[in-house]
Structure 1
Amino acid sequence: MSSLACSAVQSFPVAAFDSMLSGSLEAQGFLRLPGVLGAVDVAAMEAHVDACDGDDAGTRNLLQHAWCRALVAPLRLRLRDLGVLAEDALAVQCTLFRKSQSRNWKVALHQDLSIPVAEKVANEALSDWSHKEGSHFVQPPTALLERLTVVRIHLDPCTDSDGPLRVVPGSHLVGKLSAQRASALREERGETQCTARPGDLLIMRPLLLHASSKASRPQGRRRVLHFLFGPSDPGHALRWSLAI
């Protein structure tokens, strides 16, 4: 993993490329980085993922594994260098999403509004507490959600037949959305389908509207490592359940 490198960087002056990347992420709410990981890195992750316990569809607790924690530092350094990750960003969760013939699922249009925290706290700014896989989750104010960054690492080819993520460009800029407003915004702006190859990264803001369909070729598989990065201090008397 220490060999992380984005081949596309070679074609641009570093400063200009960094500015282009960060500008695209802020304006569109997502950014695709091709070929960040080589075949050797991807194969090593596959071996660990295939050995993971949990539901066929995945798990929210990958950061509990040493191999996953070891990915954080080089990944964070590379993304900081590209200007798409804040200096104080910490990995606070890594989820495995695993779509396959035995577990072929879909996700309705939504925003990611909940974060994993160490314990419940009394604060009127916090809502919708829940408990999943041993961790507390809560919906914080929009201001905190806007400071979060998702990094998705693709381990398999993800074509339009594999149930790729579909996103609504720019929808992260309008705060939390009702279901009715979300549908209207998708109708107005359309969707972008985020296909990928093994080793590609997708960077996105959690408030970006996104969805995915069932794979139309369920004999395939789609495995994604979904890292969530947040500020070292989330505020509101909260503590992250785990921070690397």
Structure 2
Amino acid sequence: MRDSLNERGFALWPDALGPAEVETLASRPAVNDSTEDDAGDRDLLREPWCGELAAALRERLSGAGLLAADAVAVQCTLFRKSAGRNWKVTLHQDLSIPVAARVDDARLSAWSRKQGGAFVQPPPELLERLLAVRLHLDDCGAGDGPLRVVPGSHRHGRLDADAAAALRAAQGETACTARRGDLLIMRPLLLHASSKATRPEGRRRVLHFLYGPREPGYALHWSLAI
């Protein structure tokens, strides 16, 4: 997994969580949206159960040599794709991070607010130190709108739209299908996209954790760190 993460920018950890643990997570009210009235939540890390899960995953990732021992979880986003809430995502990199407050530094750009919190795009040097961990709460096959990634693209720094498209054309895409309980581990600078689900009866719920260094630098502070 470590070699795949370094070289390709992503790795799959099969069966990282057992069926009973996944079922408990999937049945939590914040996750189990029976009315299908929204597509997710980017602020789940403030939930005690989610913080405990983030800490447990950090220990396992660190023990496997995939994450620095002093790393912290800084965000957990729930993505919930279903027949009622179906969407596609164009090719992109994850460039924004959640921080406590705005800082006056020319190296920081694209300040925004989401769900009341501050977000910013830091230099690539910080983005390269981040790790995204996607816990699948449902099976995600080819018809469920899985992530499609461009292997190795995380090594090219921040890319504009033309460069991203050219890299995809040259290197192709890989569909990251997964089973319930699998972890998809990836670098945020990895180019990725997803299509709408084509299997109407399907459902795809993913807990997307973001880990980073305890001190992000640039006079920034995380909005939450666990």
TM-score range, shorter chain: over 0.9
Which residue matches 1:15?
none
How far residue 53 of structure 1 moved from its aligned partner, in angstroms, is 11
Paired with 2:194 and 2:201, the residues of 1 have a C-alpha distance of 17
Alignment counterpart, residue 112 of structure 1, candidates 94, 106, 112: 94
Given the alignment of the two structures, is residue 96 of structure 1 paired with residue 83 of structure 2, yes or no? no
Post-superposition Cα deviations, 1:45-82, rounded to whole Å, max 9, x if no partner, equal 00111169996110100001111011022211111111
Which residue matches 1:58?
40
Which residue matches 1:30?
10
Which residue matches 1:85?
67
Alignment counterpart, residue 131 of structure 1, candidates 92, 113, 121: 113
Aligned-pair Cα RMSD in Å = 1.4
Letter in 1 for 2:210: L
% identical aligned pairs: 63
Paired with 2:175 and 2:156, the residues of 1 have a C-alpha distance of 21
Paired with 1:173 and 1:53, the residues of 2 have a C-alpha distance of 41
Q: Gaps spanning 5+ residues in structure 1: where?
A: 1-20
Paired with 1:22 and 1:67, the residues of 2 have a C-alpha distance of 28
Q: Taking structure 1 as reference, are residues 145 and 232 closer, same or farther at Cα in structure 2, changes over 3 Å only?
A: same
Given the alignment of the two structures, is residue 144 of structure 1 paired with residue 117 of structure 2, yes or no? no
Which residue matches 2:166?
184
Which residue matches 1:221?
203
SS of match in other structure, 2:142: coil
Paired with 1:227 and 1:194, the residues of 2 have a C-alpha distance of 17
Paired with 2:35 and 2:97, the residues of 1 have a C-alpha distance of 22
Does the aligned pair in 1 maintain the 2:36–2:84 contact within 8 Å?
no
Paired with 1:218 and 1:70, the residues of 2 have a C-alpha distance of 33
- Give the TM-score, by structure 2 length: 0.96
- Give the TM-score, by structure 1 length: 0.89
Q: Taking structure 1 as reference, are residues 193 and 234 closer, same or farther at Cα in structure 2, changes over 3 Å only?
A: same
